[in-house]
Structure 1
C-alpha cells in the first residue's frame, strides 16, 4: 500500500511538471506582471524571460554600460521601429516597453532602435538578467 501511494505521488508530480504552463504576459496590457515578478527573472537568461512573454517583441534599443558606473541595458518594445516614431509624435509619450539590465557589455550603442530579429534573440538570449524596468504606455 505504501509503495502504491509513493508511485501515485511520483506519477502526479511528473504529470504536473510535464504539462504546458501558460505564459506570464499574454498581452501588452499585462506587461506590469514583469515588474511585480522581477525577482523571478533576475539571474536567469533573457531567453527565459522572453519565453514568458506572448506578445511579439518588434524593436530593441541598446545602451552599453560604463564599467563601475552603470549596467548595460536592452530596451524592448512591442511596436516596429517605423511606428515607434509616429507613436511618440501622436501620443507625446513612449509606448509600453520593458528594459532589461545585463552584466554583458558587447553591443553597440543604439538609441534610435533596431528591428528585433530571431538572430538577436539567439545572440542576446544567453545574457543574464540583472534588473527589469517596466513602463506601461498610456492609451
Structure 2
C-alpha cells in the first residue's frame, strides 16, 4: 500500500541514495531501494581498509538494518518507461526480470572513477571504488 506521498523508487545505495533515505520521512512513502549491492560502502575509508588500519566491516552499512520501512531489491535497472512510470530491472542474484512502478524516481547511481585521459591509467592503475 502506497503512503500518502506515493511510490518512491531510489536507484543506488551510494552517498546520494543512502543520504536521501536516511533523511526522508519514509512513513509518508512506499519506498523501494534498488541497488546491485546489499550494502552502503563508505568509500573515503577504502584505502584505510585496504592497508588494515580499519576493518572492512566498519565501512559497510546494510540498508535493511539502518533504514526501516522500505523494500530493498538487489538488482540493476535496465530501462525506464517514462510514460507508464515503470522501471525494468534484473535481479542481481537470480537474474529475474522485474517491473517496478513508481510515482517518483530518484536516480542516484553514483559516478565512475576518472582517469583524466592520462595514458596507461585505465590499463594499469588500481581503482579503489569497491570492495570487489
Q: Does the TM-score normalized on the shorter chain lie above 0.5?
A: no
What TM-score do you get using the length of structure 2 for normalisation?
0.25
What TM-score do you get using the length of structure 1 for normalisation?
0.24
The answer to which structure has the higher strand fraction is: 2
Larger radius of gyration: 1
The answer to which structure has the higher helix fraction is: 1
